[in-house]
Amino acid sequence: MKIAIIGVGYVGLVSGLCFAKKHEVIFVDVDANKINLLNKGRIPFYEPNLNELCRQVSKRAKFTTDLSKAADADFIFVCTGTPTKGNDIDLSHIKNACKSVGKMIRGRNTYPIIVIKSTVVPKTTSSVLLPILEKHSKKKAGNGFGLCVNPEFLREGNAVEDFLEPDRIIIGASTEKDSKLLSDFYKKFFNDVYIAANNLNTAEMIKYCSNAFFPLLISFSNEFAEICERIPDVDVHAVLDAVSMDKRINQKVNGRFLHPGIVSYLKAGCGFGGSCFPKDLKALTSFIKKMNYKPELLQSILSINDSRVQGILNRIEKRLGNLKDKKICILGLSFKPNTDDIRESPSIYMIERLLEKSAKVFAHDPVAIKNAQMHFKDRKGVVFSEDISKALEASSCCIVMTSWEAYKKLDPQIFKEKMNAPLLVDCRRIYDKDIMKDYVDYVGIGLMSSGKPLK
């Protein structure tokens, strides 16, 4: 089987390299730098286990900017980005990709299946992409080519494992034939996998519903953090942990709690970021508003999230007063651990607010410094350090923005020794408040902002 991957980003590269365990895969991207790097055996971003996988499958993986090399592919997976423009989904990349794919398959006698893996709002495939493909291929869908939607659910930081051990595969198609061809492909690839076959619009909607559900839990937890912070002796984590033990959430089987993954979203913090949750919520909200429905809940998820960074900053200013020229240490730049992705990262928003207030920012991250340097290349006032001690040195405040393992393992003494005034703002609640109180002035999300940890 020959597979083509169009758009070699997080989703395209991970999916394609996993497919290359069993199939020939041709990767096509318009970004020549990315393709050059990959041809030298280098992965353009940080993702655990991806280097190793790339080495393992290198014989079956080819990287090119030349789409014509993918002309004989049986399955063409379109994985280009779908960012936001204003509040709407920006379909320009995927429309261009479909135009090129349409031209590429023109005149072919085979029946390639074009699979939309990118996240697109409902009706996009049927009413935007299908007409583009038909126009440029001069073929009819269901006759000259097949068309499916197959949203991706991998999580950065865990992407290879997520892809290779999927909980379910969602397939959307408008014909039985296309649905079956893609189902059979996946059934052969994974020996035992649950496949949910749907129409195109439903498959598209499943991805948005999923990407609204998890942020809903996060904003719910953050709303409770705000409530708990206003009440003496209430720690939001004690509250949420106890709620999580409800058997409707955390079932006990053979005397042991299952600790389902959903529980990890019932945690208060500085908000969600990344390349999916914020943009997909914005795109869905805007899409639905155009249909004369005001999605109050979706809007609240976003507005609670949008106010997290400013809310945390207000608490810091209450302690430190004017932040002008104050040295602030930021631990963590990526939107979550085990990735170098800084897209919509709360940490980046925090640094931007601090720079507006003329604070001096010293930031550390185990892998995301390069991306952050690019982001702030035209801005003064932020210094990146690969050494945590140096980032902490002489600072008035340290804000933990990402829950990297390296930060969890820090000896609390380091804050006391290195910092000027050891105010530690733990936005991810990675430290034990009772231990920390002996070393620093500890502020934890969801604890009353009295300045003193509660017993």
Ligand X SMILES: NC(=O)c1ccc[n+]([C@@H]2O[C@H](COP(=O)([O-])OP(=O)(O)OC[C@H]3O[C@@H](n4cnc5c(N)ncnc54)[C@H](O)[C@@H]3O)[C@@H](O)[C@H]2O)c1
30: contact with ligand X by CB under 6 A: yes
* Under rule CB under 6 A, residue 340 binds ligand X: no
Whichever of 280 and 365 has its CB closer to ligand X, that residue is 280
389 φ, ψ to 5°?
-60, -45
Q: With CB under 6 A as the rule, give the number of residues binding ligand X.
A: 27
- How many residues are given for the chain? 455
CB-nearer residue toward ligand X: 224 or 272: 272
For ligand X, which is the closer residue by CB, 175 or 210? 210
Decide whether 217 or 329 has the Cβ nearer to ligand X: 217
Per CB under 6 A, the list member of 49, 64, 84, 96 interacting with ligand X is 96
Does 354 bind ligand X (CB under 6 A)? Our answer is: no
Question: Which residues, numbered 76-95, are part of the site for ligand X (CB under 6 A)?
Answer: 79-82, 93
CB of 83 to ligand X, least distance (A): 8
SS (H, E, C) the chain: CEEEEECCCHHHHHHHHHHCCCCEEEEECCCHHHHHHHHCCCCCCCCCCHHHHHHHCHHHEEEECCHHHHCCCCEEEECCCCCEECCEECCHHHHHHHHHHHHHHCCCCCCCEEEECCCCCCCHHHHHHHHHHHHHHCCCECCCEEEEECCCCCCCCCHHHHHHCCCCEEEEECCHHHHHHHHHHHHHHCCCCCEEEECHHHHHHHHHHHHHHHHHHHHHHHHHHHHHHCCCCCCHHHHHHHHHCCCCCCCEECCEECCCHHHHHCCCCCCCCCCCHHHHHHHHHHHHHCCCCCCHHHHHHHHHHHCHHHHHHHHHHHHHCCCCCCEEEEECCCCCCCCCCCCCCHHHHHHHHHHHCCCEEEEECCCCHHHHHHHCCCCCCEEECCCHHHHHCCCCEEEECCCCHHHHCCCCHHHHHHCCCCEEEECCCCCCHHHHCCCCEEEECCCCCCCCCCC
Q: Is 398 a catalytic residue?
A: no
Candidates 26-34, 142-150, 364-372, 396-404: pick the segment binding ligand X (CB under 6 A).
Answer: 26-34
Q: One of 98, 276, 397, 398 is an active-site residue; which one?
A: 276
Residues 148-187 vs ligand X: string with x where CB under 6 A? ----x-x-x-------------------------------
- Binds ligand X (CB under 6 A): choice among 3, 4, 7, 215: 7
- Residue 310 CA to residue 33 CA, distance in Å, equals 37
447 binds ligand X per the rule CB under 6 A: no
**Interface with ligand X, residue 6, by CB under 6 A:** yes
List the interface residues with ligand X, window 31-60 (CB under 6 A).
31, 34
Q: Which of 3, 4, 10, 369 binds ligand X (CB under 6 A)?
A: 10
Nearer to ligand X, 8 or 430 (CB): 8
**Which CB, 28 or 333, lies closer to ligand X?**
28
Q: Which residue is nearest to ligand X (CB)?
A: 9
Q: Which is nearer to ligand X, 100 or 183 (CB)?
A: 100
- Judged by CB under 6 A, the residue of 4, 12, 124, 244 near ligand X is 12
Shortest gap between Cβ of 53 and ligand X (angstroms)? 16
Q: Does 105 sit near ligand X (CB under 6 A)?
A: no
In the window 249-278, what residues touch ligand X (CB under 6 A)? Answer: 275-276
Quick check: 320 binds ligand X (CB under 6 A)? no
Closest approach of ligand X to the CB of residue 431, in Å: 28
The distance of closest approach from Cβ of residue 275 to ligand X in the complex, given in angstroms and rounded to an integer, is: 5
Laid out side by side, the sheet with 2-6 consists of 61-64, 24-28, 2-6, 75-78, 113-116, 146-149, 169-173, 195-198
What are the residue numbers of the active site? Answer: 276
Positions that interact with ligand X (CB under 6 A): 6-12, 28-31, 34, 79-82, 93, 96-97, 100, 118-119, 152, 154, 156, 275-276
